[in-house]
Structures are given as C-alpha cells and as structure tokens.
Amino acid sequence: MAPLPPGSTLGILGGGQLGRMLSQAASRLGFNVVILDPEENSPAGRVSQGQIVAAYDNPTALGVLGQTSAAVTFEFENVPAASVERLAEGGALVAPGPKALAVAQDRVDEKTFLNGVGATTVDFVPVDSLDDLLAGLERLGTPALLKTRREGYDGKGQIWARSAKMAADAWHAIGERPAILEARADFTRELSVIAARGRDGTLAVYPLGENTHKGGVLKTTVAPATVDAKTEKRAKAIAKAILDGLDYVGVLGVELFDLGGGKLLVNEIAPRVHNTGHWTQDGCVCDQFEQHIRAIAGWPLGPTNAHARVEMTNLLGDEVEQWKTLSAKPDMRLHLYGKAEARPGRKMGHVNRVKPL
Amino acid sequence: MAPLPPGSTLGILGGGQLGRMLSQAASRLGFNVVILDPEENSPAGRVSQGQIVAAYDNPTALGVLGQTSAAVTFEFENVPAASVERLAEGGALVAPGPKALAVAQDRVDEKTFLNGVGATTVDFVPVDSLDDLLAGLERLGTPALLKTRREGYDGKGQIWARSAKMAADAWHAIGERPAILEARADFTRELSVIAARGRDGTLAVYPLGENTHKGGVLKTTVAPATVDAKTEKRAKAIAKAILDGLDYVGVLGVELFDLGGGKLLVNEIAPRVHNTGHWTQDGCVCDQFEQHIRAIAGWPLGPTNAHARVEMTNLLGDEVEQWKTLSAKPDMRLHLYGKAEARPGRKMGHVNRVKPL
C-alpha cells in the first residue's frame, strides 16, 4: 500500500497508557488520532483528537471508528474477532490482523503456532477437565503451571500445580475453564525482544531486554541486555519466524526464557507494543510506539539501534509519588500516564534511567 | 512554590505548533492540558484534553482558563497585558510574567532593557516621525533597519532604509507607525541560545545553535554550534543577565549576532520556546518543551547537555511533501504539526538530522 499521508486519522482501540503513548507518537508524525474506550476521558483520549466512549464490541462505535480512520490498531490483544470484522467493514485497514489476534488470545493455539514456526516453548497439554489435568501432571511432572486458555494477564488466571493432590484445588482456582498446563522451564533469566514488521514484510528488531517481575507484574527492563552473539542471533531468528508466520504488521513483544548456551524458549507473545519495550523511548531515536505507527501506516520502518543503556522501572500504585525525587535526577526520564487513581499495583508510569552505552 | 503534581491542568494560550509540542511534553509528565485558541481544532488542541475556542482577549474564556489551570503559559509573546491580569484573577500562576511580555512586545523597550542588563545590542533610535527617521539615519548611517516597535515577526513589518532619500518611502511602507531604527550589525553569523529559569531562580542553558534564515524566516539550526570557549561563555552570561533581569520563569530564546572574537550582540529575545531550540528534541534528553513545562510547574530543571549533533530544518509550505523521502532516512527525525493547509511559507513541520557528537 502507499504510505498514509500525515493528516490521516488513525484509530486506536483502548485508551490506557499504551494507547496514550501510541497516540503521542502518531501526532509527532502529523497524524490525527481517535480512541475507542468505554472509560470517559481516558489517558489516551486526553492526548488525542477525539474519543468514542463505548464498549469495545459496540457495533455502531466500531463502524464509526472504521469509517473515520484510515488504519486502526489496538493497545490490547483481547479484541473480539467480530470487532475486527466490523472495523474492516467500515473501511479501515486493521493491524495487526485477525490471525495474530486469534493466536494471541488462546494459549494453546499460541504455543501450537509458535512450535510450528520453530519458536520452541515449554512442553504443554491442553486441559479441559480434571482428568486432563491429572494426565498432564503425570506427563509434564510437578510443579507445572496451570493457566486459563483465554484472557488473564500480569499473572492473573494462573496457578502452580505442585502435586497431583493439589490438582483439584488448582482446577477449581482457575474456574474450571478451558486451560493449558505448562511444564516448568529451567531458565536463568527472562529476556524479551521487541520487533516490528512493515506492510512490505521488512523487519526491524530492537536489542534484547532483560526483565524482572514482581508478583507476576513487570518491574524492570534493562536494555540492551548483556547477551552473547548466539543468544542475540537466536532471539532475532525467533522474532522473524513469528512475525513472518503471522504475516504480521506492527510491533510485537516476545517474552523469552533464557536457558543459557544460546537456548531460548518463548514464554508468550503480545501482538502490540509491550511494557518491556518502553526503554526504547530513551534508548533509541525511533521508539516502539513510533515504530508501530510507521508499520501500520505503511511507512518505512525506523532504526532500532540503541544509543544509550536504559533501565526501565514501572511505577506501580503509589510508587508514582516518587515523581518528586525522580524529577530532580538528570539521568531519570519520567513517563507518567495521567491516571487519576493510584490503585495498588496499577501501572501509573515508568521511569527510564539513561546511561551511556 | 511546591512543584505542581502530575494530574494538574496547565493552560496554554495559542494552539499552533509550539503549543502542540508544549502540550505533548506536558502530557508525558502526566499533566492535563487545555488550549485557548480562536481556531477550532487547532494543532495543539488536537493533542490536548481540551480547547477553549475564543479570542485571546475574551475575558470569559480567560477567566475559565485561569480557573481550570494551575499554571498558564503562552506560545507567542503578543499577549495583551489585560489578558495576563485576567488569567491571574482566575487564580492561575502565569509564566512568563508581565515584565517579560511587556519588554518583548516593544522593540525599543526590549533593546533598552537588554543594554541595561549588559546584553549589548546594535545602536538604535526610537522613531515616531519622518524627522526622527531622518535624524536617526544621520546618526546611525546607512543602511539601517526600520522596524515597527510592536508586532511583526519572521521579517514582517521591517524594511532596510538605504539612503535618506528613501526614508519617506520606508516610513510609509511600515505604515507610519511608532518604530525603531537599528544600525546595521557587521556580523559573521547568527547564533542563538535557548535558556530556562526555574521558579527558584536556577538556570539551565543549552549549547548554542547556529542559524540560517531565508526570506526572514528561519531555515536551519545546527547545534551544538562550533564556537570557541569565549563565545560560549559570553552567550551564557548574556542569557543569565536577561533571565535574571526579567525575573523570568520558563524557556527563553535569545538571537545573537556573532561579531567574532567572542563579541556578541543580542538581535532579539523571544519569551517562549523558540524555533531555534527544536534541535533539542533529538539532541538532548530534556528538550526545550519539557524544560519549559518543568519551569512553569515549579519542577527542578532538566539537563541541557547534548548527546548528538543535530541539524534542524524547517519544512515550509509544500516542503512538507518531503515527508515521504525523509521518513525513509534513519538519521532524519520528522516532527509534523498536523496543519491541514500547506500555504506558502507556513511552518508545517521540521526535521532533525541526527549525527553522533
């Protein structure tokens, strides 16, 4: 396709911090942005030309957004397939496409796809009953991780099954819903790679990040991570296999388990800009948000090399009160999301600590 | 004052590109922004929480903006003093303050102030009549530059008086309005310095830029400019004298004539973020827009050191069509203003070419 000219309108489903930072990147490139989000005056809506306040599956709202926007994208992956169809009917180019969303919405489909393109994951078994779970524990050993097949994020909807005896409790804990049982990975650390694919199939892959989590929620990313050439090469090959396999357009995040010796397993993928890519805002001239906008607008992808080493730390809940001390430190770059209520664990902002490479 | 917390609302008079980039910087720090601009759907309004569509001297609009905003600032200097009073009555902190605006609005007052604080300018004479002009030409020699005392920007409202014989024509050309006659400066190049002063009187001065103009309009800035230590020191001393002399809060641009040998004359000052400071967006971690927001919000000022050498080029009128080729160049960072109509000479965007230091 011909690149969308500045002045075109882009639509974003979701008005949280990812939508906000996507909108800011889009407006730097001269685009107008319309947000769809059920919450009035959302963080993204407040920095955009307009916001449609409606449910994500409201057909009228989706029709309007599709007609208004030359291209539409998402800040989250749990967009109903019917919504994507409605947007496309409105005339908008939707990216990422239905295949990426479908794969990312179901953990069994996701792992099946990943292994199919050579992006190895832990062993897993689909679980539809307590019997399945018991058989799975037998096969994968304990402990193993039981997760709902659909939905769940930031550690929600998952539980470690530590013994066959605990299986019934675990099955009950996740609501006896269709699930997946995952073998434990014996990894040394968690890495991630942020990569983009343009409408013409070109790729742009950022240096790897090393991540730490706390209570299932990302706490820090350090990037570029210290990795050997083999690991770097393997991560980039994995990203390429996934992006090409999904015929993907936009930025995608890949969470990896580092087993050492250049061996990596894919933990999960997110078909969107990703929290572990926030370091690019202060470490690269073209951050993941601009990169995503470039991709969906059919622009050439931007450079991905790092010009600084960045330690990104999420500010969760009342940690955002640290803005006062952080704002006085010249190496700390604050990014705040404009959320009014600092509920415990809520992502309120992040700070990038910038050091020379 | 205590720094304004994220979530506070900031008001900006003026919805053009400077207001837009100020708004984007403010929202990155978690502020909400309201724009006042008579033009509906202005470039800044489109990336802000709200816009009041009204004339800049509309008392009701100013009252509402003052009540809504914890602090109010401007993207242009020709704000009526009465408007500033009205904003302050609404309860808002207004920065920069009345003194800076008054000085910047009248070229005679400006040059008188500048020389008073040791920031030397060219020789000048106030001109209120053709007789004054003839006497001025006698004193300053020809050619000399006749400018209206008030208003006029980008070379508008000024004309070179090349001989006493042409004086009557020049006087007529500027509308026989109160004017200033300026001696010609024998400069080798035009420099500028962007500097900020916080509410606590601390200063932050960026490296100098070297500027080229075309038809009275800024074309390029290269920064950090290649200057000797004496020139750098002198420019910073001039910035300090001006900022302290105005008891200034916010970012200010100072245009300089470089006479060589560390000798600088001040051409003019702009009490706001400045086109010659756009390079900081890609050359510094804290750009002039964030710096201005920090200052008016009572935050600590950010660092001003350059991490890259930047060549900023304005995209005027249909030059904005170059986005297609520029967007493919990895060292070119595009900043587009979202203006619909590319009228000749209109500032549509700029591009920062980024090179290692």
* Structural domains of chain A ordered from first start: 9-94 (3.40.50.20), 123-183 (3.30.1490.20), 189-355 (3.30.470.20)
Structure confidence at residue B78 (pLDDT): 87
pLDDT at A1: 82
Q: Do A47 and B31 lie within an 8 Å CB cutoff?
A: no
DSSP A61: H
Find residue A315's DSSP bridge partners: A349
B299 DSSP 8-state letter: P
| Residue A67 CB neighbours (<10 A) | 14
Residue ranges, chain B, pLDDT below 70: 152-156
Q: Which of A3, A29, A338 sits opposite B27 (nearest CB)?
A: A338
Helices (H), ranges, chain B: 17-28, 59-68, 81-90, 98-105, 107-116, 130-140, 167-173, 229-245, 280-283, 288-296, 323-326
**Residue A303 to chain B, least CA–CA distance (Å):** 6
Tokens of B182: 């300026």
Task: Look at residue B155 in the predicted model and tell me its pLDDT.
Answer: 62
**Beta carbons of A332 and A351 less than 8 angstroms apart:** yes
Instruction: State how far residue A337 is from chain B, nearest Cα, in angstroms.
Output: 5
A158-179 pLDDT, tens digit each = 899 999 898 999 999 999 999 9
Question: Residue A151 has what pLDDT?
Answer: 82
With CA atoms as reference, report the closest residue to A62 among A12, A4, A9.
A12
pLDDT score of B29: 98
Task: Enumerate chain B positions whose Cβ falls within 8 A of a Cβ in A.
Answer: 3, 5-7, 20, 23-24, 27-32, 41, 46-49, 282, 285-286, 294, 299-300, 302-303, 307-308, 320, 323-324, 327-328, 330-331, 333-338, 340, 349, 354
φ/ψ of A239, rounded to 5, equals -60, -45
Q: What is the pLDDT of residues A302-320, one digit of tens each?
A: 999 999 999 999 999 999 9
Q: Please tell me the distance in Å from A317's CA to the nearest CA on chain B.
A: 14
B80 and B55 in contact (C-beta within 8 Å)?
no
pLDDT in tens, A316-340: 999 999 999 999 999 999 999 999 8
Does the pLDDT value for residue A14 go beyond 80?
Answer: yes
**Cβ pair A30:B354 closer than 8 A:** no
- Percent of the residues in chain A that have a pLDDT greater than 90, as a whole number: 91
Confidence at residue A153, expressed as pLDDT on a 0 to 100 scale: 61
Confidence of residue A273 (pLDDT cuts 50, 70, 90): very high
Nearest CA in chain B to A336: B30
A6 contacts B336? CB cut-off 8 A? yes
Give pLDDT, residue B53. 98
pLDDT, tens digit, 9 for 90 and up, residues A114-168: 999 999 999 999 999 999 999 999 999 999 999 999 986 666 678 999 998 989 9
Contact B32 A335 (CB under 8 A): no
Q: Do A46 and B49 touch (CB under 8 A)?
A: yes
Radius of gyration of chain B (CA): 20
A-B interface: how many C-beta pairs under 8 angstroms? 107
